[in-house]
Amino acid sequence: MQSVIASLLFLFIAKVSARSISNDHTLFDSNFKAKLIAEESRNYVGGNLVLNEDEQKVNDILMKYKLEEIDDSFHNPQYFNFSKHYFTYKNDIDKSSVYQIIKKMPKGAALHIHSSLMLHSDDMLLLTYEDHLYACYTGDKLDLQFSENTPARPCPIKWTLLSELRNASDNVQRFDDELRKFFTLYSKDENVYNADIDYSWQRFNTVYRVIKSVISYRPAREKFIYMTLKRFYDDNVMYVEIRSGLHNLYELDGTIHDKIYLAELYQQVTEKFIMEHPDFLGIKFILTNGRSVDIKKIQETLLFARKFKNDMPEIFAGFDLVGQEDKGKRLSEFMPALVEAKGNINYYFHAGETNWLGTTTDENLFDAIALGTKRIGHGYALIKHPSLLAHVLNNDIALEVNVISNVVLSLVHDVRNHPLATYLALGVPVVISSDDPGAWDSDPLSHDFYVTFVGVASRNADLRLLKQLALNSIKYSSLDTARKVRLYEIFEKRWKIFLSNVIEKCG
């Protein structure tokens, strides 16, 4: 690890050499430490932003609260939430004055979001009140299907209308609380907090399958889309890039829609939402395949991606592979197909979502960069590859970091040890996202911003960091120049309103 740190320090020194402290200073120079600290501060993400008068007022308020939180934890480490699992303190976040400010802050865009797991379990539960929903419910397993008649698929017990099961229960609230558990990984079971990565992913995939069984029904998916957009908008997110495999939707009469229909439905609902919320810019799709498929399936999807891009260029962004990276096939296994499509399709690859070093999993980082990925999803293992990190810095490749996801899926326990801390210090282009916020009942973006700001970032990192992270989400989005300019304009307008509101309430 020391050699890795030494290499990173060398990269850091090389990056700032043009502005570095001159060689004639020695450790005995009384100003040497101050100059080193100032140099490090300038290179921190957001370190070069200059705050105006209103921003400085808000920063003073924000940092007062932040320092109180951190210093209290420093002196009472047994109560420091961020060294524990996210589920142990999730419900306490609302009490934080820092969080209350971040919640109101415009955050730009969410660039790493998976379509099926975007929506909070409260809203998923509402969808189970829709008519014609049948359940195959054995107590520990649940399968759901919308149907005019009893589904023909096998069920160990029998298919029953969910409404009948709910009405027959002694306590509807308790019934719904048990049902909700199938829509979220959130748990108060301490065994979950220390689970290994395979167990966490097994639970994750179970939740995914149950949710998908609800939202494969077209009317349910239509409401799902609108409720999701509303959740993101209320969290002050103005644009979303969604990763999706675009599966088929069905109707009660047996109609099965083709895959492109789902993209069209998202576009229709989003256009309606924008009519009602004109300062929301919209969505784009990153088409996906699972990592377990064969190269023929990848070729078919990339062919479909070309058609998607040609027919709906306004909402098509690119392509990615998804799923548990340690268990899935490596990018190199699909290289012929990926190289062939490289000139036509932009890539936004997941890579380095692992704790292992020197495995085929973290080799995905090399392949993703060699394939010209526009951004890197997670990039958790990148810290262990100094030459790749230098390439990321030199070529301005953004990392899509999802801190809470990395905790829930068992990559990191104490977020102070998350590599994001180093990425921020080195000035690596970072965007903060939430991956699958519905799967852990988190805010669409505010919880990840809060945990990053208080739990991961330097104690001294201030409003400049938060603003730069929001600006980064616009800069590194897949939007064309004109739409980026529009999003910057929306952000600046909402940023001024945010500043005024904080000053009025707390100043």
Please provide the DSSP assignment of 243-260 as one string: EE-----B-TTS-B--HH
Residue 28: predicted pLDDT: 56
CATH superfamily, domain at 82-118+226-497:
Metal-dependent hydrolases (3.20.20.140)
**Tokens at 285, concatenated:** 């799709």
- Residue 179, CB-side half-sphere exposure with 13 Å CA sphere: 26
Distance (Å, rounded) from C-alpha 33 to C-alpha 469?
28
Backbone angles phi, psi at 289, to 5 degrees: -130, 155
Residue 2: predicted pLDDT: 39
Helical spans, DSSP H, in 277-329: 295-311
Expressed in angstroms, the distance from the first to the final Cα of the chain is 45
Distance (Å, rounded) from C-alpha 3 to C-alpha 82?
28
Cross-strand pairs, 237: none
Report whether 160 contacts 138 (CB < 8 A).
no
**Tokens at 73, concatenated:** 């934890």
Q: Which amino acid is at 76?
A: N
- Interhelix angle 295-311/259-276, nearest 10 degrees: 40
The catalytic site residues sit at 353, 378
Distance (Å, rounded) from C-alpha 271 to C-alpha 275?
6
Please state the domain extents for the chain: 1-43, 82-118+226-497
Which of 206, 202, 157 lies closest to 181, judged by CA?
206
Q: Quick one: CA dihedral 52, 53, 59, 60, positive or negative? A: positive
Backbone angles phi, psi at 217, to 5 degrees: -85, 125
Contacts of 398 (CB under 8 A, 6+ apart): 374, 375, 376, 429, 430, 431, 472, 475, 476
- Interhelix angle 218-234/197-215, nearest 10 degrees: 120
Query: Tokens 């060689």 map to which residue?
Result: 23
Beta strands 282-290 and 316-322 are parallel
Question: Mean pLDDT for each 10-residue chunk of the chain (507 residues)?
Answer: 45 47 54 85 94 97 96 85 92 96 98 97 97 91 95 92 95 95 93 90 95 97 98 98 96 96 98 98 97 96 97 97 93 96 96 92 94 97 96 97 97 96 97 97 98 97 98 98 98 98 90
Query: Tokens 């700032």 map to which residue?
Result: 16
Q: What number of residues does the chain have?
A: 507
- What's the burial of 6, exposed, middle or buried (CB within 10 Å: 0-12/13-18/19+)? exposed
